[in-house]
Amino acid sequence: DTEVTQTPKHLVMGMTNKKSLKCEQHMGHRAMYWYKQKAKKPPELMFVYSYEKLSINESVPSRFSPECPNSSLLNLHLHALQPEDSALYLCASSPMGSGGMERETQYFGPGTRLLVL
Amino acid sequence: TQLLEQSPQFLSIQEGENLTVYCNSSSVFSSLQWYRQEPGEGPVLLVTVVTGGEVKKLKRLTFQFGDARKDSSLHITAAQPGDTGLYLCAGARNQGGKLIFGQGTELSVKP
């Protein structure tokens, strides 16, 4: 099973709303990622969790708040977003740990298409 | 700045033609992934290459990793409309999971 799932598939929210994006993987991967992607551009890294600890924050505004409740789950809490935050939000996971370089391979979920009005 | 230059950015071809996409860098990568993405969906992993000079085949797709592990190519033989999509290369450098993405190649295969 090489599947990463994300919910919801689509989300429309106002600038004063609070919402959360969810991501789940059952591959035993120890690293999980949040990316933001604009149309026809490559994904931009936002956060990395390694062994359930936040290891990388790419200077993301505080209106985005990640959370990793356990090794299989990753959340992204959204509050007071701006229209320019509208994008496809992708979750990914990778094996990490010991082993060959293929442990760096990231597997992406289907994404959440977010529209901020 | 770590860069992964991907070319061409856009490619529109007829069904049955062959094509090659290139990713080049001045930096060495420990591994490199190729993904294909359709609009509104997440990138789907096609292949990971890790050894310099490695060649991997996936049906009509052939992937090559340069001897020095700084560049890679994707060759598609006899393209089909179903190959249409955004192709992304992404290199890893043992930096806590960060990937360096190319800018993507938007491929359109017309019947």
Q: What is the pLDDT of residues A44-67, one digit of tens each?
A: 999 999 999 999 999 999 999 999
Residue A99's pLDDT is what?
66
- CB-CB neighbours of B8 under 10 Å: 12
Q: What is the mean pLDDT of chain B?
A: 95
Strand order in the sheet with B19-24: B5-7, B19-24, B71-76, B61-65, B55-58
Q: What is the average pLDDT across A97-103?
A: 72
Does residue A77 have a pLDDT over 60?
Answer: yes
Contact A26, A72 (CB under 8 A): yes
Alpha-carbon gap: A69 to the closest alpha carbon of chain B (Å): 20
Does residue B36 have a pLDDT over 70?
Answer: yes
Mutate to test the interface with A, among B11, B31, B69 (most CBs of A within 10 A): B31
Between A42, A94, A107, which is nearest B97 by CB?
A94
Q: pLDDT band for position B3 (50/70/90)?
A: confident
Percent of chain A exceeding pLDDT 90 equals 85
DSSP symbol at A41: S
Does residue B1 have a pLDDT over 60?
Answer: no
Chain A residues close to B54, C-beta within 8 Å: none
Q: Which amino acid makes up residue B66?
A: G
The CA–CA distances, whole Å, from B76 to A93, A116, B9, B21, B35 equal 27, 38, 16, 9, 14
Chain B residues close to A104, C-beta within 8 Å: 30-31, 48, 92, 94, 97, 99
